[in-house]
A and B are shown apart, each in its own frame.
Chain A
Amino acid sequence: MKRHITCLSRIVMQNHHAKTIPNTRFLSTQEATERRNHLFTLEKKRQQENVGRIEKIEVNYKGVPKDFTLVMNKDISTPYDCAKHMSEWHVESSALALLDGNVYWDMHRPLTENCTLQLQNFTVAEPQQVNKAFWKTCSLVLGACASIAFKENVTVKLHSFPGPDIRSGSFIYDIDLPTLPDWTPTHQELYTITAEFVKFARQGHLIERLEVGEELALEMFKENEHKSKQIPNIARTNGKVTLYRVGKHVDISKGPLISHTAQIGRVSITSIHRLTGSSDSDIKQLYRFQGVALPAGVILDHFAFSILTERAKKLNLARSPINKFVERQDSNKENVAARA
């Protein structure tokens, strides 16, 4: 009799499920992150095993404390490994590597040939590229935090972030939250996301880089329809997609990015604006997460930082991925308003 009841309940359950859940299985945000992380690990291992016979390359280091030559492994050693031969200071402060004086290279990207190496931190004489890498990294980490910060029942679909524009005053991530159609974040919620960001950054995750084929990238971002639409576009030139992994979070970015997240110092997520799509675009609305951050070790007075945060609260007018024209009209209107 007992067995009957269980059978009955199972049948009922199955029927019930059949009605509510369609055939394809949905992954929660966390499960998707785990899956992507796993695939990234496997692919990285495969690529490392593919190197085969280890060849040596000569890396001429230029800079403090003195110039010298290192003999490193081709396609295995990274500038980060070179920095490990020097000092802890080099390992912690270097954000980007400069190869042969003109190519900016990620700290965790294997070197492929003989080259001269310079390490760049945030206080070099010409830090434009380092700043750009920093701004991109902040956007990427913002995406990672947003996917951590929400509860299980809120679906977070990352869309993209535009190229770094530091003069605009804020870094951006455009995120689709389909279960929250009408959300205006409170001060407390912004504060929580900021705390999440700080917590994540303090863990000091290395920012790993991997180039994968289009197919694998599509497989990784299967449940995110925005990313899987972007991937063929990105892979059009050489069939490769550049992925970055921060902690467990994997995201697409052209790079280069900085070395590790502990290099992000003071940070504030200042505002979340709603972007509405034009009638012909298939995405109706996105949330634009905005924030401002400074590298670790930069000491800025609280008043000066409050100026930056106040400015970062305004909607960043960087190109919207879903609606190109409304934004421009808005800015025109503002200009007209400013003129009048």
Chain B
Amino acid sequence: MNQADVTKLVSKLRIPVHPERRKLRNPKGPEGRIDKLRKTVTGLIKYERIELNYNRADEARQYAERLISEAIQHGDCHKPTMDIADYWLLEKELVHKLFKVLVPRYENLNSCYTNLLKAPRPQNTRNIEKVVLELKGNPYPPLRNKQSNNKLLIQNVLLDAAKYEYRQSKYAEIADKIGKGETTVDNNQKEKVTEKPSQS
């Protein structure tokens, strides 16, 4: 009961985190690993869209997310945050970019700040999986073609017309049934009417 709730001490990442540890082996050991990740984070903040191997991208993404969320939470007058930014961004002008460009961009965002997308690779090759890591709201043309909701695309026009025709045929069927039902009801009533006098 006395223990502090960990989730309240550390800001929660808004991305899924891989449950297993990634080795990212390096001759310099853990230090070399962190150096690699620092380079990647710097590159991401600088270019806003980079293509690299999946493991490295996914690992660096977590650090970048954390850096941006800290920056948003504490602002540029907070000494520890400034130290973190200074450590992770190798080019110092990017510290200004982080606080003056990215913080205003992401202040009111409810989701994560980066996208991780699979990059195409040639079929039947044994290359390592490549991905594209990008900051949201970057100035480049979008990678994903979100056109599936465009009703004017030819496949959607065709499917829509097919759906309309199917519905029309169903309505006709229902109308047909109702029409028949009414006539049968009428017949029953007539029968009853004819039956009644015979009973009486």
Contacts and interface: CB of A to CB of B under 8 A. Distances in A.
B169 A338 contact: yes
Nearest to A125: B150
A131 B172 contact: no
Interface residues of A, number: 25
Given A64-B141, A340-B176, A340-B179, A308 B154 contact: no
B158 interface: yes
Nearest to A127: B152
Interface residue tally of chain B, by bracket? 20 to 34
B153 A122 contact: yes
Given A123-B147, A308-B162, A311-B165, A167 B154 contact: no
B157 interface: yes
A298 B158 contact: no
Contacts of B161: 166-169, 311
B158 A127 contact: no
A294 interface: yes
B56 to A, nearest CB: 28
Contacts of B153: 122-123, 127, 131, 298
Contacts of B165: 169, 311
Contacts of A134: 154
Interface in A296-340: 298, 300, 304, 307-308, 311, 338-340
A126 interface: yes
B159 A131 contact: no
Given A338-B169, A338-B172, A307 B155 contact: no
A131 B157 contact: yes
A141 interface: no
A308 B158 contact: yes
Given A311-B165, A340-B176, A166 B152 contact: no
B154 A298 contact: yes
Contacts of B154: 122, 127, 131, 134, 166, 294-295, 298
B11 to A, nearest CB: 37
B119 interface: no
B152 A307 contact: no
A292 interface: yes
A281 interface: no
B121 to A, nearest CB: 18
Contacts of B160: 167
Interface in A98-131: 122-123, 125-128, 131
B159 A128 contact: no
A167 B157 contact: yes
B183 to A, nearest CB: 11
A139 B154 CA distance: 15
B145 interface: yes
A243 B24 CA distance: 63
Contact of B155 (A128, A294, A311): A294
A166 B157 contact: yes
A295 B147 CA distance: 14
B188 interface: no
Nearest to B147: A123
Contacts of B73: none
Nearest to A295: B154
Contacts of A131: 152-154, 157
Interface string B126-159: 0000000000000001000101001011110111
B84 interface: no
Contact of A308 (B152, B159, B168, B172): B159
Interface string A54-73: 00000000001000000000
Interface in B173-200: 175-176, 179
B145 A123 contact: yes
A339 B158 contact: no
9 contacts: A64-B141, A128-B152, A131-B153, A169-B161, A294-B155, A295-B154, A298-B154, A298-B155, A338-B168
Interface of A: 64, 122-123, 125-128, 131, 134, 166-169, 292, 294-295, 298, 300, 304, 307-308, 311, 338-340
Which 6 A-B pairs give the minimum distances between C-beta atoms?
Answer: A338-B172, A167-B161, A131-B154, A311-B162, A166-B157, A123-B147
